Amino acid sequence: MNEANDPYSDIRPYRDDEVARVLYRLRAERGLINTLAQWKLGPLYRLVPSIARIFVKMWLGYRLQPLTTVDAVQMQLRPLLANMVSKTVRLSSDGLESLDPTASWLFVSNHRDIALDPALTNHILYHSGHRTLAIAIGDNLLKERWVADLMRLNKSFIVKRTLSGPRELLAASRQLAAFIRTMVTTNQGPVWIAQREGRAKDGVDTTEPAVIKMLSLARDRKTETIADVLPALKIVPVAIAYELDPCDAAKAAELAAGVGYVKSEYEDVLSIGQGITGQKGCVHLSFGEPLSAEHLDVSAAVTAIDTHIRGNYRLFETALWAWQNLEQTQRIPEVTIYPGTISRGEFDARINAMPASHRPLALAMYANPLRRALGEL
């Protein structure tokens, strides 16, 4: 299919008729083979890497050869996610029951964890009878082709962030906006995007107007206005709250370093791994009502999304304890606080294990949603 007939070919998730070809290519990807060999056969890989790679290639062929559809690929991954959830998360949600599972929605979520935010959303959707998500992922996380292949097999689509020229960036934004609009308006399934580029490391969840402006680019400028586009996207705000952030220490270190901080080459990959394997405690997702016709322009849409996330972010005891530590008080403010899985002593020990200069930043990360609920931010 040529570019004119498939204008999203370089960013969209793979389709069923492409799965076999991509999986065949993955079976020969040295980077994937080495990564799996280190993960599954660590001691053997360190002693005899060539033998470990042979075993992994045989295992890959056995596991991948029967897979011919995207759904089949996701069925292979689903037990891994379910296992992670059962071991590290006490997961709950509200609001999803009011959304038609046969419709396509654009879920705009606050962003705390690179992989977990959409993965946990997907888990809840699947177990609630909804279709799985098409997930936005920045190309800065896809430096290796095999990583991009794996993500696109799992219904991810690419957000081009590493372009340099303004014309290229504008063209990429229009392509992305048109793809999202097509997904929703032709009912090809729900879509997930973050409310901002990058995680809210300070715990202050705010929607970047640029994200909504990007969505509004999916229009015929001669015949349509922003007011014609945004309602058609069926935007649903989503608030995700973690009792514990597995990457809290790393985020505090980055904040402490300030504007001079430079990420290491594989830092985002390490963050993904830490998010998946680390302790999270309770996690709650609150799905809002679709933005109505009253929320037609960019400013109103931003306000509506922020209002839902601020008002429906579940405040666990960790938020209270962090706020009390920062305020040097034992007062309990007049907001609803939910119990979690750890004690205050365990939380304080977690914070105190960080360098002294990082602790206020980590505490603020946990306390800021409570501050917003109190009107202090």
pLDDT 10s digits, 195-210: 999 999 999 999 999 9
User: Region 173-192: what's the mean pLDDT?
Assistant: 97
Stretch among 34-43, 154-163, 276-285 having the lowest mean pLDDT: 34-43
The token pair at 321 is 């304890």
- Cβ(101)–Cβ(130) under 8 Å? yes
Mean pLDDT of 278-298: 90
User: Does the pLDDT of residue 265 top 80, yes or no?
Assistant: no
- Note whether 91 and 124 are within 8 A (CB): yes
Q: Which domains does the chain have, with CATH numbers?
A: 1-68 (no CATH), 69-373 (3.40.1130)
CA distance 101 to 95: 12
In whole numbers, what is the pLDDT of the chain averaged over residues? 93
Query: In this predicted model, what pLDDT tens digit does every residue of 49-77 receive, in sequence order?
Result: 999 999 999 999 998 989 999 999 999 88
Q: For the stretch 292-317, what's the b/e string if a residue is b when 16 or more beta carbons lie within 10 angstroms of its beta carbon?
A: eeebbebebbbebbbebbbebbbbbb
| Mean pLDDT within 241-258 | 95
**pLDDT tens digit string along 101-133?**
999 999 999 999 999 999 999 999 999 999 999
- Going by pLDDT thresholds of 50, 70 and 90, the confidence category of residue 218 is very high
pLDDT at 1 over 50: no
CA distances to 81, 123, 135, 137, 294 from 118, in Å: 12, 9, 7, 10, 27
pLDDT the model gives residue 295:
67
| Tens digit of each residue's pLDDT (9 = 90 or more) over 304-346 | 999 999 999 999 999 999 999 999 999 999 999 999 999 999 9
